[in-house]
Chain A
Amino acid sequence: MCYNAAMDEGTFASQALITQMRKGAVEYCILALLARQERYGYELAQALSSVDGMLVSEGTVYPILGRLKRDGLVLTEWRESRVGPPRKYYRLTASGSAALRAFESEWRVFANAVETFLDEGESP
């Protein structure tokens, strides 16, 4: 029983860590999507929610976009759409590109390091 409780606590802690990591990383995933091309909010929400575990729900992309805009990492521009209402397009700013490059190199080093230890743990 105690063992189970401890395991639950461990699962809970790792879930909280994953949630925090995801919240931090999703901002850079949006920047990465915008590095390739300008996109509008709905398009970004669709792209992110097509991958499991990226967004809690589609709507949560908007507070994140708001934050990126306030931080000066993205710019917005309204454009007419052929099929519906005008769309607000997001594009990277120079500081957005710089932030993405910095995160990318840090992330690769970090992910490699974690992978190394996880692989060691798995080998007999």
Chain B
Amino acid sequence: MNERERRQIVDDYLRWLAEALGDGPAARRELIEDVRGHIEEAWAGAPEHNRAALLNILERLGEPEALAREEYERLGLTPAGREGEDEVLSWAAVVITVVFWPLGVVLSWFSSRWSVCDKAIATILPVLGLLLGLTLSAATFIAVERGVAQPAPATVERTNPAPESAPTAPAPDRGSNWGVLATALAFYGFLGAPLTTAAYLALRLWRRTRSGRTLAPLLVGTFLTAMLLLVLFLPAQVAPGAVQVVPRPASTSIQELH
């Protein structure tokens, strides 16, 4: 085992510890540094310098969750019952994010299982999704209003009385595709972004809660399947009534040329 591999294993252990500590204790940095010092000290004094010796050191240190529990208890932050409540609150926040994301996101801020960074990402993601959805919906609406893009095929005949003299340009597929894409993205913004947020929050609970190893893969799997279905079936639903770009009468430009 070379030095790079050794550092990798130690860093992984300390990252696991940092995740187990979450955002809660203010003294987490000092604890992590103490544990790092312990590992270095034990390594310096180890009779053999191989992978097994390092794993033995980490095993004697204990599971990061056990250290985190001890830290919380010594800080008086999570008396026995509180930990369970916190866990239930966290999972509730994940599920509620799918149904009504503003409430789910607010709830996530009351849990100590996520870091401030996680909570910030979970707050920004659905807001960005909402903005994306609103912007694209507005753009599509304006495009339809201006006659650049219109629902096909009902309005095509009415708005596109191509003069016989002028060659009728075929309705470009690009316009239709743009409409489908914009609608799909808008739907993603409204529905997909909260799903992605919930999946992200669930993923971050994977190692931070006792139930995480069972619940997190289950929920993330469900959310990803829902996303996949959304992506696969939404365009199909949108396509028949898709907005379609109708070219302006070609005669206009020809007349202008004359």
Binds B, one of A5-13, A57-65, A110-118: A57-65
Q: Indicate if the CB atoms of B63 and A42 lie closer than 8 Å.
A: no
Is there a chain B Cβ closer than 8 Å to A83's Cβ? Answer: yes
Which residues of chain A are within 8 angstroms of B31 by Cβ–Cβ distance?
62-63, 66
Choose among B30, B41, B45, B61 the residue that contacts A59 (Cβ–Cβ < 8 A): B61
In the complex, A66 Cα to B22 Cα: how many Å?
17
Is there a chain A Cβ closer than 8 Å to B44's Cβ? Answer: yes
How far does the Cβ of B12 sit from chain A's closest Cβ, in whole Å? 15
Is there a chain B Cβ closer than 8 Å to A39's Cβ? Answer: no
How far does the Cβ of B203 sit from chain A's closest Cβ, in whole Å? 26
How far does the Cβ of B21 sit from chain A's closest Cβ, in whole Å? 10
Q: Indicate if the CB atoms of B37 and A58 lie closer than 8 Å.
A: no
CB proximity to A under 8 Å, residues B48-69: 60-63, 66-67
Q: Indicate if the CB atoms of B71 and A57 lie closer than 8 Å.
A: no
Choose among B41, B66, B74 the residue that contacts A56 (Cβ–Cβ < 8 A): B66
How far does the Cβ of A64 sit from chain B's closest Cβ, in whole Å? 6
Q: Known: A66-B27, A83-B45, A87-B41. Contact between A58 and B71, CB under 8 A?
A: no
Which residues of chain B are within 8 angstroms of A83 by Cβ–Cβ distance?
44-45
In the complex, A41 Cα to B44 Cα: how many Å?
15
Is there a chain A Cβ closer than 8 Å to B75's Cβ? Answer: yes
Q: Known: A66-B71, A67-B75. Contact between A58 and B44, CB under 8 A?
A: no
How far does the Cβ of B99 sit from chain A's closest Cβ, in whole Å? 38
List the B residue with the shortest CB-CB distance to A45. Answer: B38
Is there a chain A Cβ closer than 8 Å to B85's Cβ? Answer: no
How far does the Cβ of B56 sit from chain A's closest Cβ, in whole Å? 11
Is there a chain A Cβ closer than 8 Å to B11's Cβ? Answer: no
Which residues of chain A are within 8 angstroms of B44 by Cβ–Cβ distance?
83-85
- Interface of A, helix, strand, loop or mixed by DSSP: helix
Choose among B42, B61, B74 the residue that contacts A67 (Cβ–Cβ < 8 A): B74
Which residues of chain A are within 8 angstroms of B40 by Cβ–Cβ distance?
84-85
Which residues of chain A are within 8 angstroms of B63 by Cβ–Cβ distance?
57
Is there a chain A Cβ closer than 8 Å to B219's Cβ? Answer: no
Which residues of chain B are within 8 angstroms of A87 by Cβ–Cβ distance?
37, 41
Q: Indicate if the CB atoms of A60 and B34 lie closer than 8 Å.
A: no
Q: Indicate if the CB atoms of A41 and B34 lie closer than 8 Å.
A: yes
Is there a chain B Cβ closer than 8 Å to A22's Cβ? Answer: no
List the B residue with the shortest CB-CB distance to A66. Answer: B27
Q: Indicate if the CB atoms of A57 and B62 lie closer than 8 Å.
A: yes
Q: Known: A60-B67, A66-B27. Contact between A42 and B38, CB under 8 A?
A: yes
List the A residue with the shortest CB-CB distance to B61. Answer: A59
Q: Indicate if the CB atoms of A60 and B41 lie closer than 8 Å.
A: no
In the complex, A52 Cα to B235 Cα: how many Å?
65
Which residues of chain B are within 8 angstroms of A42 by Cβ–Cβ distance?
37-38, 41-42
Q: List residues of chain A with CB under 8 Å of any chain B CB.
A: 23, 40-42, 45, 49, 56-60, 62-67, 70, 83-85, 87-88
A sample of 7 more A-B contacts (CB under 8 A), given A45-B38, A70-B27, is A42-B37, A57-B66, A62-B35, A63-B67, A63-B75, A66-B71, A84-B41
28 A-B pairs with CB atoms under 8 Å apart are A41-B34, A41-B37, A41-B38, A42-B37, A42-B41, A42-B42, A45-B38, A56-B70, A57-B61, A58-B38, A58-B61, A59-B61, A59-B67, A60-B66, A60-B67, A60-B70, A62-B38, A62-B67, A64-B74, A65-B34, A67-B75, A83-B44, A83-B45, A84-B40, A84-B41, A84-B44, A85-B41, A88-B37
In the complex, the 7 A-B pairs of residues with the closest C-beta atoms, listed nearest first: A57-B62, A84-B44, A59-B61, A63-B71, A67-B74, A42-B41, A63-B70
